[in-house]
A and B are shown apart, each in its own frame.
Chain A
Amino acid sequence: MAAIAKTNPQGQAYSSKGNKDRYLEPLAAWLMASPAVILLLAFLIIPFFLAFFYAFTNQRLVSPNPTEYVGLANFKQLLTVKILRLDPIVDAAGQPVLDETGNITYPREREFTRNNPEYPQYNGLQKWTAWDIGGSRWTLLAGDAVFMRSLINTFYFALVIVPGQAGLGLLLALLINQRTAGVNFFRTVFFIPVVVSIVVVSILFQFIYDGDNGLVNNTLVFLTGGRFTPVDWLASPSTAMPAIMVMSAWQAVGIHMVIWLAGLQTIPEILYEAASIDGANGWQKFIYVTWPGLRNTAVFILVTITMAALGLFSQIDVMTQGGPLDSTTTVIYQAVQKGYKMQDIAYGSAISVAFFILVLTVALVQRYLTREKDV
């Protein structure tokens, strides 16, 4: 509003009218902002505070039972992690009991985590993962093992996607930032996936990744002259997430390419000419002219891709439903699954709150790392 007042060309001579405008202008501004403000309030800000509130209760989606305050119980279940050391099962002679394949056997974690009065600290926990080190089995127990796997998967996805997708976008932007014939054709081709719904893309890629007769397998078999053994990409815990990463990057890279391109075109041609006169080669021009010129663009892209990557949901919901063996489940997918499908709104809210704090932390860290150091 201050900006509007400054640009008002009316001077002192019309002071009485100007005064009236001073009251009307903010009125008009609020009026114009109101549709967005109301929608944001109704669908973002109010639900945001409701999530904080519900996270401390036992609110259900469908229930005749009254809502009760439960304190930090939801967060406790969500975030508890404990280590349990298991010693091998030994026979009467003190020798470890071996199974059919000759491996040392250990007691089941459930003997410690269910109704064992000697280990109340482990009661109700789930097995997250385990390592056999130095003759013992070290088991990581969690209040909600699936949530822990979701956290890891979400970070894994973000750590690959953020540099990968940003780098690929920059590469494409450099390629299409040239004044050659047909460049518009490539700009269009690279951008097309962005305008296709991610749900449609996900369904199509399910067929492309098919283990029996998918396009990827057929192509690889053809290119290697039959030496490649077809892989069911979405069925194996080690390939499912990478397959989703490749698809997600392919679908979303176009938008970042365009943002990089916009950044590239703000760099004055004169700088490149000066660099040429100084005898700089292509790589030196990129390092000393292009990259510093793209600084603000890079920060923007870093932040937006990080946000989008941490919010991974649609691809998972359509393609794998978190499987196989929790290898693709994510924080948002868990929030929807628990809060809505399993009707536990309170727990879903707790996951959302944890997610909010996570994103906030990441954003603050990024803000700190990318701050203007010379100011």
Chain B
Amino acid sequence: MKSKVWNILAGLAIFAMLLTACGAPATAPAAPITAATEAPVDAATEAPVVSTGPTKLSMWYHGAGNKTEKDVLLGIIKDYNESQDMYMVEVQDFPQISYNESVVAAALAGNLPDIIDVDGPVMPNWAWAGYMAPLDIPQDKLDTFLPTTIGKWNGKVYSVGLWEAACAMYARKSVLDKYGIRIPTLEQPWDLEEFNAAMETLKASGEYEYVLDMGMAWKGEWYPYGFSPFLQSFGGDIIDRSTFTTAEGALNGPEAIAFGEWWQNLFTKGYVSGTTQDSADRDTGFIDGKYALQWNGNWAGGLAAEKLGDDLLILPAPNFGNGARIGAGSWQFGVSANSKNIPGATEFIEFMMQDKYMVQFSDVTGNIPATTTAAAASKNFAPGAPFEIFFNYSAAQATLRPPTPAYMSAALTFEKALADIANGADVITALDTAADEINADIKANKDYGFDGSVVGPSIKEDEIAKANAR
């Protein structure tokens, strides 16, 4: 009996030893890193003259696996590192699918790099959580950018994007001509009746499996990015932007219900394939002629133009009453709050904000450059270039997804509501449930600070900013 007790004690002792031994290697690598980053900072700030080498700035990027994009980024970093000898930027890239999780995990562990990139609608959440530091960049430098490429939270700039994305309705000129459907313009987009009539005409032709490819196969962020502008065009919204503390009235008011009924009609009338659309059809269905129209982003333009040539039409979003709208806010760059080198990290972001780099990014990714001058110099968006029209759409119609920390959770609620309505749920119940869920989340987070201590831009302010930019 005695020996048994002794055995257990011995076991526990070894176990404790092993635990400490295991704990050590886990913290050990962290120590040299902090030492490495901290020491030179001190050297740089306290005695810059004695500094022996440049301070390292770590950077995380979401685009792992995309070589051409990475080459552009590495080129910028090389230019920056050679342009001065205070800082040395080093980038580590992550696959997009696990990027946000990596940042959240690193933030919880206190290991964020100096510079991060962040998806536009996610930024307010990270800024609110204290992961990001406001950027001290001169206003005149920001003024030339498309307003939706500047990420703001609580009246401060937190992120800057070098590119923007835009959605449009892809169509064939030959098809619209054949069925006598008017080709809409930015000045006069389709209205609700015209758009519905066009879909009915195309459906009646019997030539297509489905009239319109909405991209139901793409789950996640595509739903709020691609479809919430329709809701806004009807006059509703995911969250009431006058207070940012409720979805009541915005997501379940009469305008939102009108949108929900229209949305459900797309599926009950057989215009749009359901939520089980397979991703292969999404990629090539329009090009193969299965679908007459396709709602998609500028990134799909290259392939469509290659296959359809002059027959391809890139049409503006319809106007359902409250102005034609498309989603906005792509990946942007920002500085992490626990960076020891905020001025240096900010300086690097400022360095990136050059037209030539935006042109390089745009030329390899097909995304829209963030300034008019860069667009003019780019391969795809210069005046007369094949996709110039996307720049115009973005400048005229781009509407941010609600810039609030509540968006992270609200986006998932919105996605579920739209999927449920598409699958036949009662429209009013689905929207009421979604509004309740968003409100419960906002309440559980103490209004995400919108009790007066922070200010959010209203949708009107967005419009004023946009008008100024034009």
Please judge, given known A-B contacts A63-B445, A212-B209, whether A30 and B276 are in contact too, CB under 8 Å. no
A65 to B449, CA, bound (A): 10
Whether A323 contacts B15 by the Cβ 8 Å rule is: no
Q: Among A1, A60, A145, A212, point to the contact of B445 (Cβ < 8 A).
A: A60
A341 to B413, CA, bound (A): 11
Judged by a CB distance under 8 angstroms, whether B129 is at the interface is yes
> Among the interface residues A1, A126, A206, A325, which one has the most CB atoms of the partner chain B within 10 A?
A325
Please judge, given known A-B contacts A37-B15, A235-B275, whether A323 and B7 are in contact too, CB under 8 Å. no
Please judge, given known A-B contacts A30-B11, A58-B444, whether A321 and B278 are in contact too, CB under 8 Å. no
Task: Chain B residues near A322: list those with CB within 8 A.
Answer: 416
Judged by a CB distance under 8 angstroms, whether A222 is at the interface is no
Q: Among B129, B278, B413, point to the contact of A207 (Cβ < 8 A).
A: B278
Judged by a CB distance under 8 angstroms, whether A61 is at the interface is yes
Task: Chain A residues near B445: list those with CB within 8 A.
Answer: 60, 63, 65
Whether A325 contacts B424 by the Cβ 8 Å rule is: yes
Task: Chain B residues near A85: list those with CB within 8 A.
Answer: none
Per-residue interface assignment for chain A, residues 331 to 362, with 1 indicating a CB less than 8 Å from any chain B CB and 0 otherwise: 00000010001111000000000000000000
Q: Among A1, A30, A62, A108, point to the contact of B129 (Cβ < 8 A).
A: A62
Whether A22 contacts B3 by the Cβ 8 Å rule is: yes
Taking CB atoms and an 8 Å cut-off, the chain A residues in 94-130 that contact chain B are 108, 110, 114, 124, 126-127
**What is the distance, in angstroms, from B78's C-beta to the closest C-beta of chain A?**
34
CB-nearest residue of chain B to A42: B22
Judged by a CB distance under 8 angstroms, whether A279 is at the interface is no
Whether B423 contacts A323 by the Cβ 8 Å rule is: yes
Chain B interface secondary structure, helix, strand, loop or mixed?
A: helix
Judged by a CB distance under 8 angstroms, whether A223 is at the interface is no
**What is the distance, in angstroms, from A158's C-beta to the closest C-beta of chain B?**
24
Judged by a CB distance under 8 angstroms, whether B65 is at the interface is no
A114 to B71, CA, bound (A): 55
Q: Among A64, A232, A337, point to the contact of B274 (Cβ < 8 A).
A: A232
CB-nearest residue of chain A to B217: A206
A323 to B223, CA, bound (A): 15
Judged by a CB distance under 8 angstroms, whether A242 is at the interface is no
CB-nearest residue of chain B to A23: B10
Task: Chain A residues near B18: list those with CB within 8 A.
Answer: 31, 34, 38
Task: Chain A residues near B274: list those with CB within 8 A.
Answer: 211, 232, 235
**What is the distance, in angstroms, from A335's C-beta to the closest C-beta of chain B?**
14
Q: Among B3, B412, B423, B446, point to the contact of A324 (Cβ < 8 A).
A: B423
Judged by a CB distance under 8 angstroms, whether B47 is at the interface is no
**What is the distance, in angstroms, from B429's C-beta to the closest C-beta of chain A?**
7
Judged by a CB distance under 8 angstroms, whether A210 is at the interface is yes
**What is the distance, in angstroms, from B56's C-beta to the closest C-beta of chain A?**
27
Taking CB atoms and an 8 Å cut-off, the chain A residues in 191-238 that contact chain B are 206-207, 209-212, 232, 234-235, 237
A60 to B129, CA, bound (A): 11
Whether B408 contacts A343 by the Cβ 8 Å rule is: yes
A16 to B11, CA, bound (A): 21
Task: Chain A residues near B11: list those with CB within 8 A.
Answer: 26-27, 29-30
Per-residue interface assignment for chain B, residues 373 to 401, with 1 indicating a CB less than 8 Å from any chain A CB and 0 otherwise: 00000000000000000000000000000
Q: Among B7, B408, B409, B432, point to the contact of A110 (Cβ < 8 A).
A: B432
Q: Among B130, B131, B278, point to the contact of A210 (Cβ < 8 A).
A: B278
Q: Among A1, A60, A64, A210, point to the contact of B276 (Cβ < 8 A).
A: A210
Task: Chain B residues near A145: list those with CB within 8 A.
Answer: 433
**What is the distance, in angstroms, from A170's C-beta to the closest C-beta of chain B?**
34
Please judge, given known A-B contacts A62-B104, A337-B412, whether A235 and B276 are in contact too, CB under 8 Å. yes
A65 to B125, CA, bound (A): 13
Judged by a CB distance under 8 angstroms, whether B425 is at the interface is yes
Per-residue interface assignment for chain B, residues 10 to 40, with 1 indicating a CB less than 8 Å from any chain A CB and 0 otherwise: 1100110011001000000000000000000
Whether B444 contacts A30 by the Cβ 8 Å rule is: no
Chain A interface residues (CB < 8 Å from chain B): 1, 22-23, 26-27, 29-31, 34, 37-38, 58, 60-65, 108, 110, 114, 124, 126-127, 145, 206-207, 209-212, 232, 234-235, 237, 321-326, 337, 341-344
Chain B interface residues (CB < 8 Å from chain A): 3, 6-7, 10-11, 14-15, 18-19, 22, 104, 107, 125-126, 128-131, 209, 219, 273-276, 278, 408-409, 412-413, 416, 419-420, 423-425, 428-429, 432-433, 436, 440-441, 444-446
19 contacts between A and B (CB under 8 A): A1-B7, A23-B6, A26-B7, A30-B15, A31-B14, A34-B15, A37-B15, A60-B444, A61-B104, A64-B128, A108-B428, A206-B278, A324-B275, A337-B412, A341-B412, A342-B441, A343-B408, A343-B409, A344-B441
Q: What would 16 more interface pairs be, CB under 8 Å, given A23-B6, A34-B18, A321-B219?
A: A22-B7, A30-B10, A62-B104, A64-B130, A110-B432, A126-B436, A207-B278, A209-B276, A211-B274, A232-B276, A235-B274, A237-B423, A323-B423, A325-B420, A325-B423, A344-B441
List the 9 closest A-B pairs by CB distance, nearest first: A324-B423, A26-B7, A30-B11, A235-B276, A342-B409, A62-B129, A30-B14, A34-B18, A234-B276
